[in-house]
């Protein structure tokens, strides 16, 4: 069921800043704290960012995997003064790419995650029905490794598309995923917005922003 309730975190401004991919482009010098969104192609990263910032089409989404082809940065401002950069990353596990192309993508994503000075957290998304697959587990392990030049990243795990399950199924699935991963998994749907506020709380905690007063749970 769609809630349509405005988020207590109220994003008052969200805009595209810059993008960089293997074909070119460069990211601006780091400014605000950054959060990256990563996961398999088609897992729902771009849709999740639109849902988080309550804009229908800030970020381009597609039912065809491989839609996002570069690291795209979005600057967002919340009513309580929080300013963040959200980084939408190209998906991995996209079978139609050549081996060389896949290696170049991995280099781009790993380089960004390792070297971006203002990056504080990574949200790793996977389809709730597929669960955490080998590529996802590899990324989680990579993201948890201390970075040579910058602080460690906080890792937030999100199971997407939970609207495709009944509410009893989704409860059982999240409990199972929590158990399997030994971590807390946030269930999320860009269709119903379920999980949006829980994810905002987790992101704010990960980057050290106090929650908006009206949203303390
Ligand atoms: P790449 O850019 O290719 O890496 O994909 P992505 O992870 O950014 O996925 P995107 O947001 O483009 O969504 C992929 C497809 O899944 C689109 O058809 C979306 O409409 C659909 N989708 C995304 N999130 C949800 C969700 O929560 N529920 C349902 N039912 N569909 C979703
Ligand atoms: Mg995308």
CATH number at residue 108: 3.40.50.300
Residue 214: its pLDDT value, please?
Answer: 57
Cα distance between residue 11 and residue 80, in whole Å: 9
Strand pairing report for 11-21 and 70-78: antiparallel
Is there a domain that residue 6 lies in? no
Residue 1: predicted pLDDT:
47
Looking at the structure of the chain, the number of domains it has is 1
Pocket of ligand 1 (CB under 6 A): 39, 41-47, 61-63, 65-68, 90-91, 160-161, 163-164, 189-191
Atom of ligand 1 nearest to the CA of 192: 27
Residue 215 lies in a domain: no
Residue from 109, 103, 115 nearest 45 by CA: 109
Residue 1 lies in a domain: no
Whether residue 3 is contained in a domain is answered as: no
**189 within some domain:** yes
pTM (2 decimals)? 0.92
Q: How confident is the model at residue 115 (pLDDT cuts 50, 70, 90)?
A: very high
- Name which of 8, 23, 143 is nearest 82 in CA terms: 8
Task: Note the pLDDT tens digit of each residue in 21-64.
Answer: 877 788 889 889 999 999 999 999 999 999 999 888 888 888 88
- Which H helix or E strand runs over 137? helix 134-144
Closest residue to atom 13 of ligand 1, CA basis: 44
The winner for highest mean pLDDT among 3-7, 23-27, 29-33, 99-103 is 29-33
Q: Is the predicted pLDDT of residue 153 greater than 60, yes or no?
A: yes
189: containing domain: 11-20+30-207
In a domain, 4, yes or no: no
Does the structure show a pLDDT above 80 at 129? yes
Banded model confidence at residue 122, pLDDT cuts 50, 70, 90: very high
Whether 191 is covered by a domain: the verdict is yes
Q: Which atom of ligand 1 is nearest to the CA of 189?
A: 27
| Ligand nearest to the CA of residue 123, numbered in listed order | 1
Alpha carbon of 107 to those of 41, 67, 104, 114, 124: distances in Å? 16, 18, 5, 10, 17
Residue 216 falls inside a structural domain: no
Ligand 1 atom 15: the closest Cα is on which residue?
63
Write out the two tokens for 47.
Answer: 């849709």
Per the listing, tokens 């109220």 go with 10
Q: How far is the CA of 40 from the centre of ligand 2 (A)?
A: 9
Is pLDDT above 60 for 148? yes
Per-residue pLDDT, averaged over 152-157, amounts to 96
pLDDT of residue 212: 58
């Amino acid at each position: 069921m769609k809630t349509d309730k405005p988020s207590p975190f109220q994003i008052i401004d969200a805009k595209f800043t810059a993008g960089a991919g293997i074909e070119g482009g460069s990211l601006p010098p780091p400014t605000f704290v950054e959060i990256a969104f990563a996961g398999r192609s088609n897992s729902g990263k771009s849709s999740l960012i639109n849902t988080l910032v309550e804009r229908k089409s800030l970020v381009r989404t597609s039912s065809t995997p491989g839609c996002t082809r570069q690291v795209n940065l979005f600057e967002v401002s919340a009513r309580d003064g929080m300013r963040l950069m959200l980084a939408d990353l190209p998906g991995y596990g996209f079978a139609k790419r050549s081996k060389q192309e896949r290696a170049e993508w991995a280099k781009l994503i790993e380089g960004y995650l390792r070297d971006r000075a203002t990056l504080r957290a990574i949200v790793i998304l996977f389809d709730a029905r597929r669960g955490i697959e080998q590529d996802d587990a590899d990324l989680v392990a990579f993201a948890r490794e201390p970075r040579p030049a910058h602080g460690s990243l906080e890792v937030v795990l999100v199971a997407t598309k939970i609207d495709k399950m009944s509410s009893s199924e989704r409860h059982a699935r999240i409990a199972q995923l929590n158990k399997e991963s030994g971590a807390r998994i946030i269930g999320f749907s860009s269709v119903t917005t379920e999980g949006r506020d829980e994810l905002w709380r987790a992101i704010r905690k990960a980057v050290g922003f106090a929650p908006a007063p009206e949203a303390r749970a």
